[in-house]
């Protein structure tokens, strides 16, 4: 049996020789030449090689791109009849010549059309492929919409040419359809168009019978700051009080205080309601009073008679009263800066005046002035009067301004409710009030417990010991 080696030799051997191009020496030379060429190809970069098309134009050049585009457009021209070719075949110009500045065949430069000329509707126009919109999209720009359709499109946020509504009847129909949508943006958009295309007289007349549109239009004028148009509108509608208030608000934009005072004085002639007229008059009087106080205080500050203070100009009425309670409390009532004069001029209530003066004088630590607020002069002399607010509130105001215990004790003792009085006395360390109340209640146990809360060796402790050792007091426990 033959071995495996013999089988392989049998099947791989051949009696016929291989095809030979020539002598062995010539074959070796051919192989060497092929190897040199492949080595040169490997050394050259593909990016540096310039490729040419069958027409001789470099691949990737402008002229090659134009030809390729022209051929592709010609192939699709049969299917799309109304699509123009990239470049008309009868044109004597190439895209390369457009940039080089000369025509084919070396035509003179004066006969050369500029790039913009080529793009015009001339025989040498450069055409590009046109992408047409579907026919149903042209309806958005060509259809003759009704007012209802136009309002619906506005509500959807689409563009609508409102200029096609030319007659007054069409414009009012458009406005009514916008109102029926109950969409403020649609109504405002239509109102802006009507404001631009209608006279104010006609617009104001039609808005008078459409309250919804009128409210939107007034709001639009307020937001855009068209004060003059808004005043004319309110005047045409007979809403004179609103027009007067609107004109009065213009004082907020005046920065010079003297000019603001003069403007407020001119507003006194406007047709306000009775209540508004009183407020405007008070505003003018207050600003005039503040200017007088400010001028006097500045002169005193320059002379060194008074320390520098904050400006009183344009302060509210209560703040102006507090300013006078701080700086001019001792002035007689006839003086224009006196708190009493301010109170009388502007009809300030007793409670407002009392709380403002109490807080101001307590902050100034003027305790005699605080005490004077609770006294009234009568024929028989000074008498203690009941304040317009509770004594608990008085104690809180005094405590916030760091009133001494002796001052607080006087007013805690005036609290009528016994439990509230003893609670406030314990809270503010008014020991005498607590001790006296336990003595009156004959509560020995509470007195003993409270003895541990006072200081050792203090006058309050000695007082408690004397009361506990007093045999004449009949304690209940």
Return the structure tokens found at 442.
């004959």
Mean pLDDT of 444-463: 88
The pLDDT, as a whole number, for residue 106 is 47
Tens-digit pLDDT profile for residues 191-221: 999 999 999 999 999 999 999 999 999 999 9
| Closest C-alpha to 342, from 378, 290, 396 | 290
3-state helix/strand/coil string of the chain:
CCCHHHHHHHHHCCCCCCCCCCCHHHHHHHHHHHHHHHHHHHHCCHHHCCCECCCCCECCCHHHHHHHHHHHHHHHCCCCCCCCCCECCCCCCCHHHHHHCCCCCCCCHHHCCCHHHHHCCCCCCECCCCCCCCHHHHHHHHCCCCHHHHHHHHHCCCCCCHHHCCCHHHHHHHHHHHHHCCCHHHHHHHHHHHHHHCCHHHHHHHHHCCHHHHHHHHHHHHHHCCHHHHHHHHHHCCCHHHHHHHHHHHHHHCCCHHHHHHHHHHHCCCCCCHHHHHHHHHHHHHHHHHHHHHHHHHHHHHCCCCCCCCCCCCCCHHHHHHHHHHHCCCCCCCCCCCHHHHHHHCCCCHHHHHHHHHHHHHHCCCHHHHHHCCEEEECCEEEECCCCCCHHHHHHHHHHCCCCHHHHHHHHCCCCCHHHHHHHHHHCCCHHHHHHHHHHHCCHHHHHHHHCCCCCCCHHHHHHHHHHCCCCCCCCC
Do the beta carbons of residue 287 and residue 271 sit within 8 Å? no
The angle at the Cα of 157, spanning 151 to 162, to the nearest 5 degrees, equals: 45
The pLDDT, as a whole number, for residue 475 is 86
Do the beta carbons of residue 83 and residue 131 sit within 8 Å? no
Mean pLDDT of 42-51: 50
Return the structure tokens found at 256.
């010079």
Q: In angstroms, rounded to a whole number, what is the distance separating the alpha carbons of residues 192 and 170?
A: 15
Tens-digit pLDDT profile for residues 93-107: 444 443 444 444 444
Reply yes or no on whether the pLDDT at 91 is more than 60.
no
The pLDDT, as a whole number, for residue 190 is 94
Does this model's pTM top 0.75?
no
Tens-digit pLDDT profile for residues 126-178: 443 344 444 444 444 445 789 999 999 999 988 888 888 989 999 999 999 99
Give the residue, 69 or 123, on which the prediction is more confident. Answer: 69
Mean pLDDT of 25-30: 57
Mean pLDDT of 393-404: 92
Tens-digit pLDDT profile for residues 177-189: 999 999 999 999 9
pLDDT grade for 225, boundaries at 50, 70 and 90? confident
Mean pLDDT of 428-438: 90
Phi, psi (deg, nearest 5) at residue 309: -120, 170
pLDDT grade for 31, boundaries at 50, 70 and 90? low
pLDDT grade for 124, boundaries at 50, 70 and 90? very low
* Mean pLDDT score across all residues of the chain: 78
Q: Residue 421, class by beta-carbon neighbours within 10 Å (0-12 exposed, 13-18 middle, 19+ buried)?
A: buried
pLDDT grade for 59, boundaries at 50, 70 and 90? low
Mean pLDDT of 403-420: 90
Do the beta carbons of residue 126 and residue 118 sit within 8 Å? yes
């Amino acid at each position: 049996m033959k071995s495996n080696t013999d089988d392989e030799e049998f099947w791989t051997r051949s009696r016929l020789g291989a095809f030979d191009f020539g002598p062995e020496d010539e074959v070796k030379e051919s192989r060497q030449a092929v190897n040199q060429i492949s080595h040169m190809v490997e050394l050259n970069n593909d990016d540096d090689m310039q490729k040419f098309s069958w027409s001789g134009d470099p691949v990737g050049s402008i002229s090659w791109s134009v030809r390729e585009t022209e051929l592709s457009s010609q192939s699709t021209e049969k299917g799309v009849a109304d699509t123009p070719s990239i470049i008309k075949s009868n044109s004597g110009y190439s895209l390369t010549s457009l940039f080089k500045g000369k025509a084919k065949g070396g035509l003179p430069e004066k006969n050369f059309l500029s790039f913009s000329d080529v793009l015009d509707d001339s025989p040498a126009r450069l055409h590009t492929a046109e992408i047409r919109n579907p026919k149903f999209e042209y309806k958005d720009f060509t259809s003759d919409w009704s007012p209802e359709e136009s309002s619906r499109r506005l509500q959807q946020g689409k563009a609508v040419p409102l200029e096609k509504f030319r007659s007054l009847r069409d414009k009012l129909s458009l406005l009514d359809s916008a109102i029926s949508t109950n969409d403020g943006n649609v109504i405002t958009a239509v109102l802006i168009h009507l404001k631009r295309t209608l006279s104010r007289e006609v617009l104001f007349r039609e808005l008078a019978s459409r309250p919804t549109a009128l409210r939107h239009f007034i709001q639009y004028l307020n937001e855009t700051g068209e004060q003059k148009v808004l005043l004319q509108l309110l005047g045409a509608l007979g809403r004179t009080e609103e027009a007067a208030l609107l004109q009065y608000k213009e004082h907020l934009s005046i920065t010079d205080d003297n000019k603001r005072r003069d403007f407020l004085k001119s507003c006194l002639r406007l047709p306000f309601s009775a209540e508004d007229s009183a407020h405007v008059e008070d505003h003018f009087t207050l600003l005039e009073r503040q200017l007088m106080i400010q001028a006097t205080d500045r002169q005193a500050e320059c002379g060194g008679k008074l320390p520098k203070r904050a400006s009183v100009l344009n302060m509210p009425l209560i703040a102006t009263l507090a300013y006078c309670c701080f700086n001019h409390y001792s002035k007689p009532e006839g003086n224009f800066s006196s708190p009493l004069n301010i109170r009388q001029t502007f009809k300030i209530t007793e409670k407002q005046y009392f709380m403002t003066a109490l807080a101001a004088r307590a902050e100034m630590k003027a305790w005699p002035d605080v005490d004077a607020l609770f006294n009234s002069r009568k024929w028989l002399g000074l008498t203690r009067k009941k304040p317009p607010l509770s004594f608990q509130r008085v104690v809180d105001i005094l405590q916030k301004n760091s009133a001494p215990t002796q001052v607080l004790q006087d007013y805690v003792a005036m609290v009528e409710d016994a439990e509230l009085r003893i609670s406030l006395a314990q809270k503010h360390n008014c020991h005498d009030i607590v001790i006296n109340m336990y003595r009156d209640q004959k509560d020995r146990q509470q007195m003993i417990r409270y003895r541990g809360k006072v200081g050792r060796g203090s006058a309050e402790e000695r007082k408690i010991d004397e009361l506990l050792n007093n045999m004449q007091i009949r304690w209940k426990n």
